[in-house]
């Protein structure tokens, strides 16, 4: 369950400062107040118990650069300030505040939330942004009385969430570690945007994070070495922590079909996962039909068991997944990513290169929140069969819809292709992760073939907004889990935000029912969610007005998206902060942060239509 505090603030990440506390709150009588520049600005409220079992207090305040912050008890006989800033709060590694013996100096103006964890001799402070200064303070505490909304390390019985309302962001594109055309997406750059990302996305897919022989990480060399061209291990873990604090889970890109050799065609570096296992890969771990054999090097005895004709990966050595040592190494790697680094799920790369039954084996061992495989095949029947081969314990990117709905459909003005495409046409929408473009299909300068969007996919250029918005409106209205591509998000953020807000308010999920029709030049659909419905008009239908009782999300010359419904606050993971403009819509329900419906006489934070307000 998501903590109440997550409705009030988005926590950002900070470094750990290990200076012994000079003054301890246990020596003073409460209650306790926060002073800014020697003036009292408020009183700490009881915020229950922190995730590590400590009693905690909470207060929020708006402060300016240069302001001096101090704590004091009710009688204010001595000022003090905790000397330990806990990792997980205060953006940019602690640079927002400078701590001295009995006060903190603000270096970056903002609205901050202070979670004071009381421990005799070792008080700790967790600082995050609030966005509701002057409103209700407290509200469950950092971690919500010990309840972690993400709960890293939790084991799940299946890696396919049921009726999942999550929206995914692919937070990179090819060479996005160095290219700045759509915003460089290194760990540090992404962490700076973690708060905004978490308002709209419940899942973020990151590129491979281990040491590799290429910029993007798809030629992995040493799995446990989590230093990559995107950033160092510490930066990666800070990013994951920041996303977790905002209520967003993170997917690791797992490349276990192949690995780069060390110095010759058939040698490898050691793979030391600590308590999860230590491995020294041998040439016998390579498939018998690998290119190394053609070069005269020794390899293993088992042929590649991949189910696609292009199962051999020529740029690196193919692991033999029939080899029990390889299997043990892969299980250890997944457990390491989840238990040590903090990932919540996996995206499996190049799954045509090894039998997908191995994915079920590895996922069953690691027990992640979610698993999705890249099985690049445009035949929906093949994708359905591969899901079955993996014991229905993983989702897959729906390449059948990628080709049918987007390339042959919207991009070709053939709206009939939008009716039950891909896995949805097979009744397997629950297992589909839908996408419009990805790092491979989008304008890769290093390849140019019929699978990629360099020449044939009009929406890959980003120049045709109407086309891109049609694709995103369709994807964000349909069942399955939608995966928004970073350049689309970067370029058309306000439109995509509105679409996600509509989807979330209606409660569209991975198994939502669709009523649809198409004709010459148009497509119409009504999709039923947990709390309401989404109506989508594409092509010539876009000129239609909003049906009675529906709110407009987005509208263009060839697309229109309308919705009904409001997320109950018990399900709100991300809500926007809005400046209160009274009166609120009296025809729409509103809820307090406990999920209870209230009226306009209520004082405090309320949520209505996916927006958060403060009633005073």
DSSP state of 547: P
For tokens 């997917």, what's the residue? 251
Q: Torsions phi, psi of 110, nearest 5?
A: 170, 175
Token pair recorded at residue 268 = 């490898």
In angstroms, the CA 303 to CA 314 distance is: 15
Q: Please list the alpha-helical segments (H only) found in 476-558.
A: 486-491, 493-506
Long-range contacts formed by 211-218: CB under 8 A, 24+ apart: 212/260, 213/260, 213/316, 215/175, 215/177, 215/178, 216/172, 216/174, 216/175, 216/177, 216/439, 217/253, 217/255, 218/255, 218/349
Do 246 and 478 meet the contact criterion of CB atoms below 8 Å apart?
no
Q: Please list the alpha-helical segments (H only) found in 493-548.
A: 493-506
Q: Which residues pair with 115 in a beta bridge?
A: 58, 126
In angstroms, the CA 107 to CA 68 distance is: 10
Do 410 and 471 meet the contact criterion of CB atoms below 8 Å apart?
yes
In angstroms, the CA 345 to CA 533 distance is: 29
Residue 59 within any structural domain of the chain: yes
In angstroms, the CA 32 to CA 29 distance is: 8
Token pair recorded at residue 132 = 């509701």
Do 229 and 216 meet the contact criterion of CB atoms below 8 Å apart?
yes
Residue 586: count other Cβ atoms within 10 Å of its Cβ: 9
Residue 459 within any structural domain of the chain: no
Token pair recorded at residue 561 = 């998206």
**Domain end marker among 100, 129, 158:** 129
User: So what's the pLDDT on residue 44?
Assistant: 79
Number of folded domains that form the chain = 2
User: So what's the pLDDT on residue 290?
Assistant: 95
Residue 294 within any structural domain of the chain: no
Q: Could you tell me which residues come within 8 angstroms of residue 141 by beta carbon, excluding any fewer than 6 positions away?
A: 3, 5, 47, 48, 49, 50, 56, 58, 115
In angstroms, the CA 606 to CA 575 distance is: 11
**Domain end marker among 97, 129, 161:** 129
User: So what's the pLDDT on residue 139?
Assistant: 28
Residue 10 within any structural domain of the chain: yes
Q: Torsions phi, psi of 266, nearest 5?
A: -135, 25
Residue 124 within any structural domain of the chain: yes
Residue 38 within any structural domain of the chain: yes
Do 369 and 161 meet the contact criterion of CB atoms below 8 Å apart?
yes
Please, what's the b/e burial string for 135-161 (b: 16 or more CB within 10 A of its CB; e: otherwise)?
bbbbbbbbbbbebbbbebeeebebbbb
Instruction: Specify the CATH number for the domain of residue 42.
Output: 2.60.40.3620
Residue 19 within any structural domain of the chain: yes
Average pLDDT, 10 consecutive residues per value, the chain (616 residues): 32 29 39 83 72 72 82 74 60 65 80 72 67 35 34 89 96 90 92 93 97 94 97 95 91 98 95 97 97 96 91 91 98 97 97 97 97 97 98 98 93 95 98 95 60 42 82 98 96 96 96 97 97 96 92 96 82 45 60 61 66 64
- In the chain, % helix, strand, coil (3-state, to 5) comes to 25, 25, 50
Do 211 and 220 meet the contact criterion of CB atoms below 8 Å apart?
yes
In angstroms, the CA 232 to CA 228 distance is: 6
In angstroms, the CA 349 to CA 217 distance is: 11
In angstroms, the CA 418 to CA 516 distance is: 9
In angstroms, the CA 564 to CA 243 distance is: 29
For tokens 């926590």, what's the residue? 11
DSSP state of 136: -
| Four-residue CA torsion sign, 14, 17, 22, 25 | positive
Residue 175: count other Cβ atoms within 10 Å of its Cβ: 16
Q: Could you tell me which residues come within 8 angstroms of residue 421 by beta carbon, excluding any fewer than 6 positions away?
A: 380, 400, 401, 404, 405, 409
Q: Torsions phi, psi of 108, nearest 5?
A: -130, 120
Residue 117 within any structural domain of the chain: yes
Residue 95: count other Cβ atoms within 10 Å of its Cβ: 12
Helix (H) or strand (E) holding 238: helix 233-245
**Domain end marker among 129, 146, 173:** 129
Domain that holds residue 116: 5-129
3-class secondary structure, 279? strand
């Amino acid at each position: 369950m998501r903590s109440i505090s997550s409705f009030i603030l988005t926590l950002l990440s900070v470094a750990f400062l290990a200076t012994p506390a000079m003054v301890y709150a246990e020596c003073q009588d409460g209650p306790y107040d926060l002073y800014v520049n020697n003036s009292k600005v408020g009183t700490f409220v009881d915020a229950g118990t922190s995730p590590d079992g400590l009693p905690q207090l909470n207060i929020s305040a708006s402060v300016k650069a240069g302001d001096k912050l101090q704590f004091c008890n009710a009688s204010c006989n001595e000022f003090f300030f905790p000397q330990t800033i806990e990792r997980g709060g205060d953006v940019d590694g602690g640079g927002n505040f400078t701590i001295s013996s009995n006060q903190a100096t603000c270096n970056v103006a903002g609205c901050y939330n202070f979670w004071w964890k009381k421990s005799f001799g070792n008080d700790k402070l967790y600082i995050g942004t609030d966005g509701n200064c002057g409103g209700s303070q407290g509200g469950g505490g950092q971690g919500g009385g010990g309840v972690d909304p993400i709960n890293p390390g939790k084991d799940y019985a299946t890696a396919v969430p049921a009726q999942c309302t999550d929206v995914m962001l692919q937070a990179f594109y090819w060479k996005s570690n160095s290219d700045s055309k759509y915003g460089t997406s290194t760990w540090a750059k992404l962490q700076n945007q973690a708060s905004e990302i978490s308002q709209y996305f419940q899942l973020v897919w990151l590129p491979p994070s281990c040491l590799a022989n290429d910029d993007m990480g798809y030629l992995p060399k040493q799995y446990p070495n989590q230093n990559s061209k995107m950033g160092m291990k510490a930066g990666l873990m800070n990013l994951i922590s920041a996303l977790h604090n905002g209520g967003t889970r993170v997917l690791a890109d797992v490349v276990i079909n192949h690995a780069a050799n060390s110095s010759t065609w058939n040698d490898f570096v050691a793979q030391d996962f600590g308590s999860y296992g230590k491995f020294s890969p041998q040439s016998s771990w390579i498939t018998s039909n690998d290119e190394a054999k053609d070069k005269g090097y020794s390899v293993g005895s088992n042929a590649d068991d991949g189910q696609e004709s292009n199962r051999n990966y020529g740029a690196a050595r193919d692991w033999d997944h029939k080899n029990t040592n390889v299997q043990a190494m892969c299980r250890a790697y997944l457990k390491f990513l989840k238990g040590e680094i903090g990932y919540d799920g996996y995206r499996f790369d190049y799954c045509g290169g090894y039998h997908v039954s191995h994915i079920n084996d590895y996922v069953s061992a690691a027990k992640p929140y979610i698993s999705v495989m890249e099985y690049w095949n445009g035949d929906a029947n093949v994708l359905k069969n591969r899901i079955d081969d993996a014991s229905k314990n993983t989702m897959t990117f729906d390449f059948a819809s990628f080709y049918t709905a987007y390339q042959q459909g919207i991009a070709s003005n053939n709206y009939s292709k939008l009716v039950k495409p891909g896995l949805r046409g097979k009744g397997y929408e629950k297992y589909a992760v839908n996408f419009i473009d990805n790092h491979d299909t989008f304008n890769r300068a290093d390849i140019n073939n019929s699978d990629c969007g360099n020449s044939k996919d009009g929406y890959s250029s980003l120049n045709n907004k109407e086309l891109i918005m049609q694709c995103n409106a369709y994807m964000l209205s349909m069942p399955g889990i939608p995966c928004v591509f970073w350049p689309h998000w970067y370029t058309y953020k306000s439109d995509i935000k509105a679409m996600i807000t509509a989807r979330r308010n209606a409660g569209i999920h991975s198994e939502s029912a669709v009523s649809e029709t198409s004709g010459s030049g148009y497509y119409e659909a009504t999709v039923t969610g947990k709390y309401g419905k989404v109506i989508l008009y594409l092509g010539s239908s876009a000129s239609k007005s909003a049906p009675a009782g529906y709110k407009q999300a987005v509208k263009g010359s060839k697309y229109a998206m309308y919705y009904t419904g409001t997320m109950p606050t018990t399900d709100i993971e991300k809500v926007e902060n809005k400046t209160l403009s009274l009166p609120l819509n009296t025809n729409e329900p509103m809820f307090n942060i406990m999920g209870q419906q209230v009226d306009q006489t209520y004082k405090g934070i309320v949520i209505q239509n996916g927006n958060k307000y403060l009633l005073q």
